[in-house]
Amino acid sequence: MLSRLFSAAILGVDALEVEIEVNIAEGGNEFRFRIVGLPDASVRESIYRVTTALSNSGFRWPNSAVTANLAPADLKKEGPGFDLPIALGFIAAAQRSEIPRFARCIVAGELALDGSVRPIKGALPIALEARARGKKAVILPIANATEAAMVSGIEVYGVRSLREAFDFLSKKISLTPVQANPDDFFASHSHHDVDFSEVRGQLNVRRAVEIAVAGGHNLLLIGPPGSGKSMIAKRIPSILPPLTLEEAIETTKIHSVCGLLSPDEPFVSRRPFRAPHHTISDVGLIGGSTNPTPGEVSLAHNGVLFLDELPEFKRSALEALRVPLEDHRAVITRASGTVTFPADFMLVAAMNPCPCGNFGNPNANCRCSTSEVAKYRNKISGPLLDRIDIHIEAPAVEFHHLSSTTPAESSATIRQRVIAARQIQANRFASQRHSCNARMSKRSIQQFCTISSPCSKLLQNAMRELNFSARAYDRILKVARTIADLDNSDQISENHLYEALQYRTLDRSLWNA
């Protein structure tokens, strides 16, 4: 007897439909079970989980040869999510049952030895694939059901056990589809625990951060320990525009395949903020391993990647950042193939001005030699520095700012200006693929960043005297365009350009001086 049903395999951050065929040979006096179709070790081990779960769920089988085929055979199958569909196919074949619902569903789930169903990774991509394939429903562990229910246009059923899943599919019991409303999650998870009103002083830094967020620009904060660099960086998500539903689904897919979603928060409704430690490996930062998985640059997709103590990161890891910063994706190539992960994030980095942190600090003496300072700063290569649009110094906070009781501007107020500037950019790029000024192409810069003759002369002098690169030239114009948007100005003025130039003072010759 042969039975067929459908599951899905995760490839990158997407799911691909897999047809599962379970055949029980006629006759025989010995039970044998094998899985074919390029399974990995965890899939091959499902033989033991499936047979034990079947036994403990009250199902029996004939002493015959059983073959489970996972098609297409040239697609590698990974993870324990095939346990449940293989077991369901086994039961149907053993009972010689025709289950019409098998053809209309995608099923995935890991089995415990007692027959209960454990959660899996990638529930949201699986639901999206089921909808794309025209399936009517998806059957998943109850712990993953709310996550998958964020996909509209398909019914999601959560099951707790193998017995419950089979009884539902064979119409012995009925289950209620799980309902979830993304708007409810946006409303209930929109609050941030930190606020810019808690930041004392640092008006110049706050201004630079607002510009960076308004245009989606990468940002480098430089200052002594205790100047508030990390404190400010952690508050950046509180002024970012809210996620759109499309962005939230994109982001949730990445976190889903990494197993980072919880039953309490099965949907990413706020922009992510990732802050890996400087000891992170290249693979941990960019993604990879034998079976490629997303790295921190992808987990920060549509949000912020914060690299504190930037020069302490391995040089190879920092240089590997250059491609994601330019292309907004991470491409992982292995012998088995190439996987592309989305990586459209805002980079925020922080560093001390020297190894001891006191270079240029009027309140403390720097213990570093000139060569030590140069060596420390040169850990950040010119090409990487070129890709950071805004560099701002964060000086030590003076006492009168720390002791002030005057409330600082709140995140909500700053966010309103940011959203207004982003709306201007959305209207500007309505017919293009850009989402913000920082993503403008060369052609878009020529179209939307036109400057007057005095501005052109100012920029020419700055390029010559400060030895800026061609890439820095583009970044200056992009930042100036954002400053103009915050001023609700159609044209880039000299004042806008002057301010944009101030945010490149750590570039090239000045940086290495």
Are residue 208 and residue 303 in the same domain, yes or no?
yes
298 touches 287 (CB < 8 A)? yes
Dihedral sign (CA 502, 506, 510, 513): positive
| Residue-level pLDDT at 512 | 46
Are residue 161 and residue 117 in the same domain, yes or no?
yes
| Count of structural domains, the chain | 2
- Exposed (0-12), middle (13-18) or buried (19+): which is 464, by Cβ within 10 Å? exposed
The reply to whether 205 falls in a domain is yes
State the pTM of this model: 0.88
pLDDT at 29 over 80: no
**Which among 411, 427, 443 is the end of a domain?**
427
The reply to whether 77 falls in a domain is yes
Are residue 27 and residue 101 in the same domain, yes or no?
yes
Are residue 258 and residue 133 in the same domain, yes or no?
no
The reply to whether 224 falls in a domain is yes
What is the CB neighbour count within 10 angstroms for residue 65?
16
Are residue 204 and residue 109 in the same domain, yes or no?
no
pLDDT at 84 over 70: yes
118 touches 29 (CB < 8 A)? no
Are residue 301 and residue 158 in the same domain, yes or no?
no
| Residue-level pLDDT at 333 | 77
pLDDT-derived band at 507 (thresholds 50, 70, 90) equals low
What CATH number is given to the structural domain containing 56?
Answer: 3.30.230.10
Higher-confidence residue of 254 and 394: namely: 254
Are residue 113 and residue 240 in the same domain, yes or no?
no
Q: Look up the domain containing 118 and give its range.
A: 2-169
Are residue 279 and residue 395 in the same domain, yes or no?
yes
The reply to whether 349 falls in a domain is yes
pLDDT at 161 over 80: yes
Higher-confidence residue of 374 and 422: namely: 422
**Which among 427, 458, 493 is the end of a domain?**
427
Are residue 118 and residue 32 in the same domain, yes or no?
yes
pLDDT at 315 over 50: yes
Mean confidence (pLDDT) of the chain: 88
Are residue 201 and residue 163 in the same domain, yes or no?
no
pLDDT-derived band at 276 (thresholds 50, 70, 90) equals very high
13 touches 254 (CB < 8 A)? yes
Per-residue exposure over 76-89, b if at least 16 CB sit within 10 Å of its own CB, e if not: bbbbbbbbbbbbbb
| Digit-coded pLDDT (tens) for 440-487 | 888 888 889 888 888 888 888 888 887 777 778 888 999 999 999 999
The reply to whether 330 falls in a domain is yes
| Residue-level pLDDT at 188 | 73
- The percent of residues above 70 in pLDDT, for the chain, comes to 96
Phi, psi (rounded to 5 degrees) for 211? -65, -45
* Nearest Cα residue to 376 out of 310, 277, 302: 310
Phi, psi (rounded to 5 degrees) for 265? -135, 75
The reply to whether 304 falls in a domain is yes
Tokens 């699986």, residue?
126
| Residue-level pLDDT at 27 | 67
| Residue-level pLDDT at 509 | 41
pLDDT at 222 over 70: yes
What CATH number is given to the structural domain containing 403?
Answer: 3.40.50.300
Higher-confidence residue of 12 and 296: namely: 296
pLDDT-derived band at 360 (thresholds 50, 70, 90) equals confident
pLDDT at 167 over 60: yes
Phi, psi (rounded to 5 degrees) for 72? -75, 145
Are residue 129 and residue 241 in the same domain, yes or no?
no
pLDDT at 506 over 70: no
pLDDT at 49 over 90: yes
Strands (DSSP E) contained in 37-126 are 65-71, 105-107, 110-111, 117-118
| Residue-level pLDDT at 16 | 94
**Which among 153, 169, 185 is the end of a domain?**
169
pLDDT at 194 over 80: yes
Cα–Cα distance for residue pair 212/30, rounded to 1 Å: 68
Are residue 291 and residue 377 in the same domain, yes or no?
yes
| Residue-level pLDDT at 137 | 95
The reply to whether 423 falls in a domain is yes
| Residue-level pLDDT at 28 | 64
428 touches 473 (CB < 8 A)? no
* Nearest Cα residue to 395 out of 202, 139, 211, 146: 202
The reply to whether 175 falls in a domain is no
